[in-house]
Amino acid sequence: MKNKISLRFEDLLQEINTIESSKIKKENSYFGSYIEINNELHKKWELNLKNLILLLNSNPDSMYYSELVKISELKSHEDHADIFDRQKALFLALKDDYEKGLLSSIKSLIEADVFDTELEQAKELLSNKYKLAAAVIAGVVLETALRSLCDKEKIPHGKLTKMNDDLTKAGVYNKFQQKSITALADIRNSAAHGKDIEFTHENVENMIRDIESFLATYLN
């Protein structure tokens, strides 16, 4: 069964044909000949394309989104058909990258860099005796990693415990790993509630190490 993103790509591809068929060549005494398209269909298609890009990458500063905004500006002596042609080229490039798995690779590289930075911050805090803050940050990295795995497996997001259970049921990892994540989540929860007597400095050291190992195993 095709996922929702693949179906959205197919829908937008079909809508391109509809918009293309709406093109009409017209004449203007000032501009000369120009191509007119159904603006209502075009605007709907453009909005759906923006939503798709944000669905693939929630960062509005992403390459594809920034480029879409740039090429959607109407320049002098242009008509909306010119904009549509540029947007269509961007859409086809986006579709090609998605189908080849390149968008996931880019996202994974960005996530890996963010995870490394956050865990280094957790280590620094721990070295300065801030074990509560270190455990909370490490816990955020763990939960974000589980969300990424859920995205890959088309599993809905939820609380950490629910995602952990669902990923185990999906066969992403075994029950031993599930129990390990539950233990790490317990430390995170204790830290978030300021219960520093429930875990030690060494527990947080091991927590960060275990999360690094988890990321290397399941998100590389």
Q: What is the mean pLDDT of each run of 10 residues along the chain (220 residues)?
A: 75 93 79 80 93 74 80 80 90 83 56 69 87 89 90 88 95 96 94 89 95 87
Measured over the CA atoms of residue 65, residue 71, residue 74 and residue 76, the dihedral's sign is positive
pLDDT of residue 41: 94
Predicted confidence at residue 106, as pLDDT, reads 47
Query: So what's the pLDDT on residue 192?
Result: 86
Q: What pLDDT is recorded for position 110?
A: 46
Query: pTM of the entire structure?
Result: 0.52
Residue 146's pLDDT is 93
At residue 197, what are phi and psi to the nearest 5 degrees?
Answer: -80, -10
Question: In sequence order, what are the residues at sequence separation of 6 or more whose Cβ sits closer than 8 angstroms to the Cβ of residue 6?
Answer: none
Sketch the domain layout of the chain as residue ranges: 4-100, 107-218
